[in-house]
């Protein structure tokens, strides 16, 4: 008997579900590290050195990384399962995203170290919120239940709202925080409404269960998809099948898509992105671009590919439209910006469009390409915003394009590193960004979305123009005579070195990362082992 149904049949008794602890350790470590840090600092704060919170956060991220590896190995050996009454999925897909989030936390902590000191914002609040937000992201990425997913999303979002408004003395930061909060609350409401409608249509909040109920007509949608076969097995008798034109389900899916579209900054739900990216403290932006986007796409894939694969024909065209809109708007509006953070905000919208190209394919290869893209983009985004953190100078004010003028003459290595990251974002060969685009386009072509592939590549050319604009400013223009001397703190320097090495190493030999993304199947299971 399925755990969920068992639970439903025996409501009067208190029924404690079986819990596998191993897959939950990364969740617990990330959330626990945040709470413990808060406790330690409030008790013993005055005796601790300045670097303590940053080091603690980095260590917590590494610990999550370390505890995620056994989960991966276990899933590899025993296959996917779920725990806590089927509400948390134990699969390599979620482990991949957990590792990605953990790495984002480590790198963001490195970037933030010098920044907080420079801006006199020292204190544990930033790091606590960062880890809490990542804990929410981890929950989102592994939720098999829509309510659990919503909880994860709220934990992630609330922490990020505060992070955005972190910069106490900067009005733009406050403004961005309010803007992000109001719009984000709207998006969450949409999401919740969508969950309610889906529940109304399917009678279940469990994604694996919802997928089973589409059994009658989803065999065709993923006939080449290996994960479908597993889903087909054991459709329980007596489970009511949904009809293909269930209006309630379609409306619910549309609402869910609004909520996720907001989180991943896809057009037309992108309007907050440039303002928030510009106003928020730069290290926070690097986390938003890498971590929040990854968590958002993970949730999007879990719900749509994991839960609604049976009605893929209904949502694929919508993803197609969102992808084209994001690619076009993101790359074109980026051209007319003069602020580097705004440029990269629009470019992140265009990257969201690229990732949606992989989502739209609705195949296992598409999911793998999305994961690869997310990993590549996380590295490029964190590195880019780390450079901006350093360049923008005291007050986080110097984010105009002209603050980069002649950077190659002032700080050649920093300029070279930024160039590598920008070229990677443009998808130039021998950088990881090229393979990200390669994988996504392969998935699109394989799903016979040729025109989407063509449009995506054209948008990539338009986007290349804006990356070149930044490169031109750094290399081909001479620095202002009164340009302040740039000091590069150790934390951001280490972070930039790591991501540049990542970008080049996997640019030359992407096989290991490709294999990991390929292995990270999204296969939702109702059962515990």
487 burial type by CB count under 10 A (0-12 exposed, 13-18 middle, 19+ buried): exposed
Q: Which residue has the tokens 């403004």?
A: 175
Please, which of residues 437-476 interact with another protein by CB under 8 A? 437-438, 441-442, 445-446, 450, 453-454, 457-458, 460-461, 464-465, 468-469, 472, 475-476
Residue 519's Cβ-count burial label (10 Å; 0-12, 13-18, 19+) is middle
CB of 387 to another protein, least distance (A): 19
- Measured CA to CA, the distance from residue 118 to residue 397 in angstroms comes to 12
- Residue 504 as a binder of another protein (CB under 8 A): the answer is no
Where does this chain touch another protein (CB under 8 A) — which range of 15-23, 100-108, 435-443, 494-502? 435-443
The C-alpha atoms of residue 324 and residue 454 are separated, in whole angstroms, by 11
338 class by beta-carbon count within 10 Å (0-12 exposed, 13-18 middle, 19+ buried)? exposed
Selected binder of another protein within 429, 487, 497, 501 (CB under 8 A): 429
Would you say 186 or 475 has its CB closer to another protein?
475
Shortest reach from residue 415's CB to another protein, in Å: 11
Residue 52, class by beta-carbon neighbours within 10 Å (0-12 exposed, 13-18 middle, 19+ buried)?
A: middle
CB 516, min distance to another protein, A: 11
Q: Considering beta carbons, is residue 29 or 453 the nearer one to another protein?
A: 453
Q: Any contact of residue 510 with another protein (CB under 8 A)?
A: yes
Q: Which is nearer to another protein, 448 or 490 (CB)?
A: 448
Considering beta carbons, is residue 244 or 445 the nearer one to another protein?
A: 445
| Smallest separation, CB 289 to another protein (Å) | 24
Which of 161, 287, 434, 521 binds another protein (CB under 8 A)? It is: 434
Beta carbon nearer to another protein, 237 or 511 = 511
Half-sphere exposure of 299 (CA within 13 A, CB side): 33
**Euclidean distance between CA atoms 130 and 291, whole angstroms:** 10
Counting Cβ atoms within 10 Å, is residue 172 exposed (0-12), middle (13-18) or buried (19+)?
middle
Give whichever of 59 and 458 is closer to another protein, judged by the CB atom. Answer: 458
Cα–Cα distance for residue pair 60/25, rounded to 1 Å:
12
Stretch that binds another protein, among 106-114, 309-317, 356-364, 434-442 (CB under 8 A): 434-442
Q: For residue 82, give the DSSP letter.
A: E
Least Å distance between CB 138 and another protein? Answer: 28
CB burial of residue 494 (10 Å; 0-12, 13-18, 19+): middle
Longest dimension (CA), the chain: 78
What's the token pair of residue 217?
Answer: 């007509």
Nearest distance from residue 464's CB to another protein, in Å? 6
Nearer to another protein, 234 or 429 (CB): 429
H or E, element range at 81:
strand 81-83
The least CB distance from residue 465 to another protein, in Å, is: 6
Quick one: which segment of 115-123, 125-133, 291-299, 432-440 binds another protein (CB under 8 A)?
Answer: 432-440
- Residue 6 Cα distances to 100, 212, 236, angstroms: 35, 16, 12
Q: Which of residues 398-427 bind another protein (CB under 8 A)?
A: 423
Rounded distance, CA 167 to CA 160, Å? Answer: 13
**Interface pick for another protein out of 52, 193, 199, 430 (rule CB under 8 A):** 430
Tell me if 7 contacts another protein by CB under 8 A: no
Least distance from another protein to the Cβ atom of residue 335, Å: 11
Q: How far is the CB of 328 from another protein (least distance, A)?
A: 15
Q: Is 25 in the site for another protein (CB under 8 A)?
A: no
Least separation in angstroms between residue 511's CB and another protein is 5
Interactions with another protein, residue window 30-89 (CB under 8 A): none
Closest approach, Cβ 338 to another protein, in A, equals: 16
Please report how close the Cβ of residue 365 comes to another protein at its closest, in angstroms.
10
Considering the rule CB under 8 A, would residue 428 count as an interface residue with another protein? yes
Nearer to another protein among residue 474 and residue 524 (C-beta): 474
* 196: nearest Cα among 241, 252, 150, 143: 252
Cα distance between residue 332 and residue 290, in whole Å: 22
Binder of another protein out of 84, 155, 514, 526 (CB under 8 A): 514
User: Could you say which DSSP state residue 87 is in?
Assistant: T
Structure tokens at 443: 């998935």
- Pairing type for strands 81-83 and 88-90 reads antiparallel
| Segment interacting with another protein, rule: CB under 8 A, options 105-113, 323-331, 351-359, 436-444 | 436-444
Neighbours of 130 (CB within 10 A): 27
Which candidate, 23, 13, 88, 71, places its Cα nearest to that of 524? 88
Nearest distance from residue 436's CB to another protein, in Å?
13
CB closer to another protein, 58 vs 447: 447
Tokens of 276: 């928030």
Q: What single DSSP character describes residue 145? A: B
Gap between the Cα atoms of 89 and 86, Å rounded: 7
Residues listed for the chain: 529
Size of the site for another protein (CB under 8 A): 31
Nearest residue (CB) to another protein, 281 versus 366: 366
Nearer to another protein, 217 or 438 (CB): 438
Which residues are near another protein by CB under 8 A? 423, 428-430, 434, 437-438, 441-442, 445-446, 450, 453-454, 457-458, 460-461, 464-465, 468-469, 472, 475-476, 509-511, 514-515, 518
């Amino acid at each position: 008997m399925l755990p969920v149904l068992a639970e439903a049949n025996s409501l009067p008794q208190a029924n404690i579900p079986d819990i596998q602890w191993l897959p939950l350790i990364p969740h617990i470590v990330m959330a626990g590290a945040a709470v413990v840090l808060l406790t330690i600092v409030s008790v013993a704060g005055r005796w601790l050195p300045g670097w303590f919170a940053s080091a603690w956060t980095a260590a917590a991220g590494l610990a999550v990384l370390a505890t995620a590896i056994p989960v991966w190995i276990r899933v590899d050996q025993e296959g996917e399962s779920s725990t806590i009454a089927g509400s948390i999925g134990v699969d390599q897909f979620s482990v991949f995203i957990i590792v990605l989030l953990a790495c984002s936390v480590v790198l963001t902590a490195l970037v933030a170290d010098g920044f907080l000191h420079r801006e006199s914002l020292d204190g544990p609040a930033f790091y606590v919120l960062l880890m809490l937000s990542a804990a929410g992201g981890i929950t989102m990425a592994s939720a098999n239940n829509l309510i659990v997913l919503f909880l994860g999303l709220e934990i992630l979002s609330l922490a990020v709202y505060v992070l955005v408004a972190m910069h106490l003395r900067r009005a733009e930061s406050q403004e961005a925080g309010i803007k992000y909060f109001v719009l984000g609350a709207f998006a969450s409401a949409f999401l919740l409404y969508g969950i309610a409608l889906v529940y109304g249509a399917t009678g279940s909040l469990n994604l694996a269960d919802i997928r089973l109920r589409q059994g009658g007509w989803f065999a065709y949608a993923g006939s080449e998809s290996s994960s479908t076969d597993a889903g087909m097995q054991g459709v329980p008798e007596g489970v009511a099948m949904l009809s293909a034109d269930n209006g309630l389900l379609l409306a619910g899916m549309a609402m869910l898509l609004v909520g996720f579209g907001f989180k991943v900054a896809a057009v037309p739900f992108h309007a907050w992105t440039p303002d928030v990216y510009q106003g928020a403290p730069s290290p926070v932006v690097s986390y938003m671009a890498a971590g929040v986007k990854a968590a958002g796409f993970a949730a999007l894939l879990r719900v749509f590919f994991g839960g609604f694969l049976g009605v893929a024909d209904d949502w694929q065209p919508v993803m197609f439209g969102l992808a084209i809109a994001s690619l076009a708007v993101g790359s074109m509006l980026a051209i007319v910006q003069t602020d580097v953070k705004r440029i990269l905000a629009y470019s992140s919208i265009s990257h969201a469009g690229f990732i949606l190209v992989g989502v739209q394919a609705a195949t296992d290869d598409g999911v793998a390409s999305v994961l690869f893209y997310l990993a590549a983009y996380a590295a490029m985004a964190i590195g880019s915003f780390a450079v901006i953190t350093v360049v923008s100078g005291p007050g986080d004010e110097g984010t105009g394009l002209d603050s980069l003028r002649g950077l190659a003459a002032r700080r050649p290595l920093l300029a070279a590193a930024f160039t590598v990251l920008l070229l990677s974002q443009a998808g130039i060969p021998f950088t990881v960004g090229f393979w990200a685009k390669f994988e996504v386009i392969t998935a699109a072509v394989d799903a016979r979305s040729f025109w989407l592939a063509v449009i995506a590549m054209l948008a990539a050319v338009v986007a290349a123009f804006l990356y070149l604009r930044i490169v031109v400013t750094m290399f081909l223009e001479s620095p202002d005579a009164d340009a302040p001397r740039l000091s590069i703190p150790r934390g951001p320097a280490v972070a930039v070195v790591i991501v540049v090495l990542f970008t080049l190493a996997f640019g030359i030999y992407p096989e290991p990362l490709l294999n990991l993304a390929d292995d990270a199947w999204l296969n939702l299971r109702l059962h515990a082992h």
